[in-house]
Structure 1
Amino acid sequence: MNTMTQTAGRAGSVAPPYAELATKLRGALITPDDAGYDGARAVYNAMIDRRPAAIARVADAADVVQCVNFARVHGVELAVRGGGHNAGGLGVWNHALVIDLGAMRSTTPDPAGHRVRVDGGCTWSDVDHSTVAFGMATPTGFIASTGVGGLALGGGIGYLSRRFGLTVDNLLSADVVLADGRLVTADEHNYADLFWALRGGGGNFGVVTSFTFRCHDIGENGTIIGGPVLYDLADTAAVMRWYRELLPSLPEELNGWLGLITIPPAPPFPEELWGRKSCAIVWCYTGSHDKANDVLAPVRDFGAPLVVGLQEMPFTVLQSAFDGLYPPGLQWYWKADFVHEISDEAIGIHEKYGASLPTGHSTMHLYPIDGAAARIPETATAFAYRGGGWAGVIVGVDPDPANAQLITDWAKAYWEELHPTTAGGAYINFMMGEGEERIRASYLDNYDRLAQIKAKYDPQNLFHINQNISPAAAA
């Protein structure tokens, strides 16, 4: 195994003994001289180009303990990578030791107990594969290739949120390697303060090597009714006004996120619509199919849609529907905010920037935080935005690095004009590097409690390559 000749760790200029670490791991340690280094450091967002000192493809929790202890003792930066989807690419960092959990992908469904245990390196496609076969699921996001750890620790907003809450609301326990190298299990009765913080506090408190989630029966043996309804972009204002009033009145078995998109140039969309800008709502109905016609009638019948793509499908199909459109390796620039209401002022701004979508992949989405997700008190978990509304995200996206500035400028301008109409904070899973003030705003009154828990479990801020919560100062 090749080793580093130099690195820039927090302790100084002396290179840590990575060769010694390699001998202690069941998994592989990859350094810049190794052939697979560039592939190992690549993340979902190709706008991120960082060069870690070493990447540990850990095989188990014991490997994680070795890496955490090594980083602490030698004073090197430590980054943690699950699925690599993080908006700011925080799973890799220059000169850091990266703990790559991607080889830890086992799942253990428990159909009788309606739960599933999953390793920290799993993606949501791994989880859905293991649960939907038994007609059940746990709330996740909207892209199946997303890593479980990043999404779950940040909150977890998805198709099932109106009916069953966020991912964090369905977390039963977590196995965590702490900054001091201990492996503990946190749940409602053990390390309860840590368990509270993990449910929305991101990667600030340790490396989660295993999650156990509550599962729920969905659809007819895992078959749901869902898909997109697309409208002409000129109908955006009417669709948004109708949607903002309709959504809270719908049965919680029906959820739908709204977006401004360019219709993909591929089946199943009609060829005459390829490349056309559109206002879209993607619906997911997980209730009894006997009631589906009545429940779905309002969303089928409104306006003059270009496409009504509602149909029966396994939940896994809807969950993975956008994976092909958004493969790893695209250029991404993200901006986000929570939204309490879709005001008329905001609708005008959406119309303006929807008409100027700069590339075919660039888009704006509004994801509901409603129903079961909004009934949880804001202090019950670290995830604080429980007052109803939406998690909004604006993303400039394109395959071509030459368009990086174009998509960045569009997303920034859109956000800057829209931000005064929003709630202030943002979903941390959608944030890039935006500073402490934005992080504080995203946790509301929960921030100070998180800072106290951070001081208890990570007083030296070993886990700081994240949307960082600084440890509270000693009283």
Structure 2
Amino acid sequence: MEIGIVLDASRLARAPLETVELARLAEERGLDLVVVADEATGRSAGLDPWTAAVWLAGSTSRIAIGAPAGAATTPDPTDPEAPYPSVITKAQDSIDILAQGRIISDPSGWVVAPRGAKPEELASLAEADLPVVVPVDSREDVERLAALAAGRDHQGGVRRRSTAVRAQRKPNIDYDGVPASLADTAVEPGDPPYRSLSSTYLRGGAPGLVLRPRTPAEVSDAIEFARRHRHLPLGIRSAGHGISGRSTNQGGLVIDVGAMNTIRVVDPARRLVRIGPGATWKQVAAALTPHGWALGSGDYGGVGVGGLATAAGIGLLSRNHGLTIDHLRSVDLVLADGRQVQASREHNPELFWAVRGAGANFGIATSFEFEVDEVGEVGWAQLVLLSTDIEQSLRRYAELASSAPRDTTVFFVTGQPREGMSTIQLFAVVDNPDPDTVVARLTPFLELGTLARQQVVMTPYSGVMGNAADVGPNGQQGFGEPNSRSAFLPAATPEFAHDAAAMLRSGGVYFFELRAMGGAIADIAAGEASFTHRTPAFQLTAMGQNNQRLNAVWEPMRPHSDGLYLSFETDRSPERLLDAFPAPVLERLRTLKRRYDPDNLFRDNFNIDPQTTKEPRA
């Protein structure tokens, strides 16, 4: 039984110091909760509840604080007491940071007992498994309750969360049923690590529970728990950087494999490396550099291995060494039924085919085995140019990037022009150890505009990936929902450059990127993996603030495109699946989905529904 006190709001207003002393005494004597409310109405009459809560939280260190909040309804500007939803939300968020989840704002999180209630009355009220709070006026009242609390039975060795944390539990999650193997690392709303795990790089979230397995067996346990909670959204997370992925959600379940981040060389002669899904590509590059090796991996080192290695991996080494999935030799997975399997060309080859491009639909990867490349120092360039004619700059970039030797990969990034001037950022890797060759490869790109800033260095590939910031103890801090569109371009034609320039000038896009493809990417047959887009010259990504407006300005891009890259697409309309996977490929994936995930447990990221019999229109 948890016991707390109710402090009268009017008394706190009249005698704040003396009343705070009662709260401190309750904490010293081991009570669980202090509620500030008017005894008659149950509300904090005469005091702002959040101000009172912060005052008490700042005056104590452990005890939970109950501050009944009014419903966040449409505000009435004529009513000085009417709560404004945006203000309440900001206040709650601020208090959660300052008081680390100690505040309970919902009065259903406790039961109020009559003043002077006897032990048997308190025990009866405690049957609701909520803290029982009793109005107090004096130190003697607090001491009486403390004496009752001292006689409570405690379950030795069983972790029991605080009153404030349990008050934030979602009613549709069996928190007490979390498998024992995961209980110590599971994170609920209100737990100290929760804020660092709720959001991702670009997306805000508030999951109801985050499970953090450390072994394949614990992943199986997490999946079993997820099967019992099919009514919840389910997110799978490695590092939480994915633009398209749903590795967070609102009120659902997240399985976070970030702790599975080991990197181990298993066969030096064959350059075979085993990597956990929670490792970042920055960590992978740093581990491979002492061997003179590298593994191409997108363009940002903070991305997790798990998401990219089951999508494709179009990066700054791709034109010379192929996609990340081209180096994958096997993957260990936990399937929707909890089975642990390995997929490779020799074992479960159909599953291995599916995972390389559509992995999010088939299981949770717990380990990857890659054959990496010998890569010495490379030329790494970050150039900033200013252009007064973005259409011409796009046309010239397309000509240069697509005709460059395959050791040269250049990505083009820009946004909305300002006062007729476009800022162009070029990110380039020249996989050649000769500085003169690097300069010769990059010099033609200076035609795109007036050079404003440059940084060109010779570095191991770890120096390229090392530019990413480490995810610190505060985790990712994304918010809202990203709006992103993706396309593959067979060629960046003059007509495309004209329409793209118009889109940029519209103001509907704030981020625009062209990734040069070709070279080694096209050396692999389209049917080798479920990712089949081997022949495009470029991959395009555009992001906007407003989804409806982005859709409107994006429409002229569709005639220039042939397919899309799911990693950078947030439109989850069923039609987008046919853009990502040609119809025969999608039907093959559906057949495999019916075999490996017939109940569609893994459904929250561009779902390949096993029950669909007719493909959506493109």
1:357 Cα deviation (Å)?
5.6
Which of residues 493, 497, 504 in structure 2 aligns to 1:354?
504
Distance 2:223 2:515 in 1: 35
Aligned partner of 1:216 among 353, 373, 392: 373
Distance (whole Å) between structure 2 residues aligned to residue 34 and residue 251 of structure 1: 53
Which of 572, 575, 581 aligns to 1:443? It is 581
Q: Quick check: 1:71 aligned with 2:226?
A: yes
Partner of 2:596: 457
Which AA in structure 2 matches 1:70?
F
SS of residue in 1 equivalent to 2:178:
helix
Counterpart Cα distance in 2 of 1:178 and 1:75: 15
1:429 corresponding residue in structure 2: 567
**Structure 1 residues 179 and 112, CA gap change in structure 2 (3 angstroms):** same
1: CA distance, partners of 2:259 / 2:360: 19
Unaligned residue ranges in structure 2 (runs of 5+): 1-159, 471-475
Q: Which moved further from structure 2: 117-126 or 85-94?
A: 85-94
Q: Which residue of 2 aligns with 1:269?
A: none
Task: Output the amino acid matched with 2:553.
Answer: Y
Partner of 1:335: 485
Matches within 5 A, 1:200-279: 200-218=357-375, 220=376, 223-261=377-415, 277-279=422-424
Change (3 A) 1:42 1:474: closer
SS of the equivalent of 1:329 reads coil
Q: Give the number of aligned pairs.
A: 441
Map 1:7-156 → 2, pairs under 5 A: 15-25=172-182, 28-46=185-203, 48-49=204-205, 51-77=206-232, 78-110=234-266, 111-156=268-313
Distance 2:400 2:557 in 1: 22
In structure 2, relative to structure 1, the CA distance for the partners of 1:41 and 1:185 (3 Å cut) is: same
CA drift at 1:392? 0.6
Match of residue 524, structure 2, among 361, 376, 381? 376
Give CA deviations for 1:163-218 in whole Å, capped at 9, x if unaligned: 11111111111110001111111111001111000000131000001111121112
Query: Which moved further from structure 2: 291-300 or 108-117?
Result: 291-300
Question: Letter of the aligned partner of 2:299 in structure 1?
Answer: F
Tell me the residue number matched to 2:339.
182
% same residue: 28
- TM-score (normalised: structure 1): 0.84
Between 1:20-29 and 1:162-171, the stretch displaced more is: 20-29
Structure 1 residues 180, 293: closer, same or farther in 2, change over 3 A? closer
C-alpha contact 1:164 1:373 (8 A) present in aligned 2: yes
Gap change, CA 1:300 and 1:164, over 3 Å in 2: same
CA distance in 2: counterparts of 1:16 and 1:152, whole angstroms: 31
For the structure 1 residues 346 and 447, does the alpha-carbon distance in structure 2 shift closer, same or farther, using more than 3 Å as the test?
A: same
Tell me the equivalent position of 1:270. none
- Where does residue 318 of structure 1 map in the other structure? 464
Letter of the 1:103 partner, please give it.
A
1:309 aligns with 2:455: yes
Change (3 A) 1:155 1:335: same
Distance 2:447 2:561 in 1: 27
Post-superposition CA distance 1:72-130 (Å, at most 9, x none): 24535332111111224501233322111112211113543313211111111121111
Corresponding residue for residue 296 of structure 1: 441
Change (3 A) 1:65 1:416: same
1:45, 1:89 within 8 Å by CA — same for their partners in 2?
Answer: no
Residue 244 of structure 1: how far off its partner (Å): 2.2
Task: Please identify the structure whose Cα radius of gyration is greater.
Answer: 2
Contact 1:22–1:29 (8 Å) recurs in 2: no
Contact residue 517 and residue 537 of structure 2 kept, 8 A:
yes
Matched with 1:364 is 512
* CA shift digits 1:214-255 (9 cap, x unpaired): 21112x3xx210213333222433332233233333221111
Contact 2:196 2:477 in 1 (8 A): no
Alpha-carbon distance change, 322 to 234 in structure 1, aligned in 2, over 3 angstroms = farther
Q: Distance in 1 between matches of 2:559 and 2:244?
A: 23
Alignment RMSD (CA, Å): 3.0
Equivalence for 2:155? none
What is the rounded CA distance, in whole Å, between the counterparts of 1:474 and 1:247 in structure 2? 41
Structure 1 462/245 Cα, relative in aligned 2: closer, same or farther at 3 Å?
same
Say which SS state the counterpart of residue 201 (structure 1) adopts.
helix
Structure 1 gaps, min length 5:
264-272, 397-403
Q: For 1:354, give the aligned amino acid.
A: L
Contact 1:174 1:211 in 2 (8 A): yes
- Equivalent residue runs for 1:365-404 within 5 Å: 365-396=513-544, 404=545
Q: Is the 8 A contact 1:106 1:118 kept in 2?
A: yes
Residue 316 of structure 1 and its aligned partner are, at CA, apart by 2.3
| 2:306 aligned counterpart, secondary structure | helix
Among 286, 293, 313, which residue is 2:431 paired with? 286
Contact 2:330 2:369 in 1 (8 A): yes
Give TM-score scaled by structure 2 length.
Answer: 0.66
User: Partner of 2:610 in structure 1?
Assistant: 471
The verdict on how the C-alpha distance between 1:32 and 1:297 changes in structure 2, with shifts beyond 3 A counting, is closer
* Aligned-residue offset at 1:452: 0.8
Deviations 1:389-444 (A, max 9, x none): 21110123xxxxxxx54xx4664443223223222x31110111421111122111
Cα separation, partners in 2 of 1:413 and 1:322, compared to 1, 3 Å? farther
Instruction: Find the residue that maps to 1:467 and give its secondary structure.
Output: coil
| Structure 2 residue corresponding to 1:166, chosen from 308, 323, 328 | 323
Give SS of 2:246's match.
coil
* Distance in structure 2 (CA, Å) of the matches to 1:251 and 1:139: 17
Q: Report the CA distance shift for 1:322/1:258 in structure 2 as closer, same or farther (over 3 A).
A: farther
Contact 1:124 1:145 in 2 (8 A): yes
